[in-house]
Amino acid sequence: MSITINQVDIQSIAQLPDNIQTLFQLIPQAETWLETMRNNPEYAFSFSSAEEFIEQLNIGLRNSSLLYLPKVNVVADIKKLLELSSNDLRDLSYLENQSADTPKAAASRANILASNHLIDNQAFDKITQFYKQHNLTTHPLTWSAAFHEQITLYETIVYSEQAFSQNNKQASEACEWALAKAQNLAEFGRYYLIYLSWTHEFQGKRTAKNLSLDRIIDALTPTVLDNLECPVVTFELDQINLHRAIEQWCDSDKQTLGFTDLSSGLLNITLNIDLSNESDVREQAHSYIKQLQKQLATNLAADSYVNQAGLCRYYRFDLPNNTVQLNLDANGCLCVYSDKPNISKVGSSALVKRS
């Protein structure tokens, strides 16, 4: 067997960078695979980089780019783990190979997960409880969902619990409305949050919320569909080049940084306009989009990281009243993924809106 990485013949895993060696040790059966392949001279593998090698190794062994670390209690894509510093990855490997959990190890684990935007499996129990509470356990949207959709729903549930004080009846109504709209679990989460935001606007008032909300969504949909175009970049942008790309793209009044998809666009708009005035939601939406572009073009991203499912890179903007995340996907499309009012800015009766 021969392994060639960037036209260099690899005789030993020790030739690879430290983080690649660590990941190799974390992948079950990786060493067994290597020994088996060494005994068969017919096999020849060629990779453009060490990162491609380790990604393809995991995919080849179990047809998945996700790696499960049972003792750390985390599932993450190889791309995400490659982003970790050598120290953090080494510490995760150390924790994964420990036979007993100690307070010091638990603290180290929590720190690594928090600093690297990793959600552990115990936190995902919130989704299981949500399913049970609303009789969703056997619904097709739940059992057909991909990992990134589960992450989106988890983030939605956490935000909704912090931002809105809904009772079980309102949550059930939100689920029913969202199920009628959604085609996948990520869309369900967003429509669920749209409904709760709408309910929050009319708290204590008698109104046919679901009918009026349908009209609002119908009114906003053409606006979102008209704002899905996005710039395409060929590399992962750093803070300065991201700023330049946004400035260049948003330089024309006719071009805006598009939303990731229809449901994310609808959620971003409904969270940031006054839903109680149904007659001018389109005008409010256009004003919101224009103001958002201006803020993105005049502020620098505060953070950048690969999401846990490994499908994209997020760029986070910490604005005065909102946290905005841009999404750079595998195709190089740069989009507005989410724009949520900060929890600290959520008032007792309504979310803070952009002026």
Q: pLDDT tens, 169-187?
A: 889 999 999 999 999 999 9
Share of the chain above pLDDT 90, in %: 75
Check residue 312 and give its pLDDT. 95
pTM for the predicted model, two decimal places: 0.92
- How far apart CA 351 and CA 265 sit, in angstroms, is 17
Token pair 């609808």 in the structure block, residue: 266
Check residue 201 and give its pLDDT. 79
Check: CB of residue 209 under 8 Å from CB of residue 270.
no
pLDDT at 50 exceeding the cut of 90: yes
Q: How far is CA 249 from CA 229, 252, 297, 331, in A?
A: 11, 7, 9, 17
- How far apart CA 213 and CA 218 sit, in angstroms, is 8
Element of type H or E holding 5: strand 2-5
Share of the chain above pLDDT 70, in %: 94
Check residue 352 and give its pLDDT. 47
pLDDT for 299-350, tens place per residue? Answer: 999 999 999 999 999 999 999 999 999 999 999 999 999 999 998 766 444 4
Average pLDDT over residues 81-93: 95
Check residue 355 and give its pLDDT. 47
pLDDT for 257-266, tens place per residue? Answer: 999 999 999 9
Q: Could you tell me how many residues make up the chain?
A: 355
Check residue 207 and give its pLDDT. 53
Check residue 346 and give its pLDDT. 60
Check residue 350 and give its pLDDT. 44
| Lowest-confidence region among 30-44, 139-153, 180-194 | 30-44
Check residue 212 and give its pLDDT. 85
What are the phi and psi torsion angles at 340 (to 5°)?
-110, 130
pLDDT at 210 exceeding the cut of 60: no
The CA-CA-CA angle for residues 266, 269, 274, to 5°, reads 125
- How far apart CA 182 and CA 167 sit, in angstroms, is 22
pLDDT at 117 exceeding the cut of 60: yes
Check: CB of residue 69 under 8 Å from CB of residue 111.
no
Check residue 10 and give its pLDDT. 87
Q: How many CA atoms lie within 13 A of 91 on its CB side?
A: 16
Which one, of 120, 124, 125, lies nearest residue 109 by Cα? 120
Average pLDDT over residues 220-235: 93
Q: What is the mean pLDDT of the chain?
A: 90
pLDDT at 204 exceeding the cut of 90: no
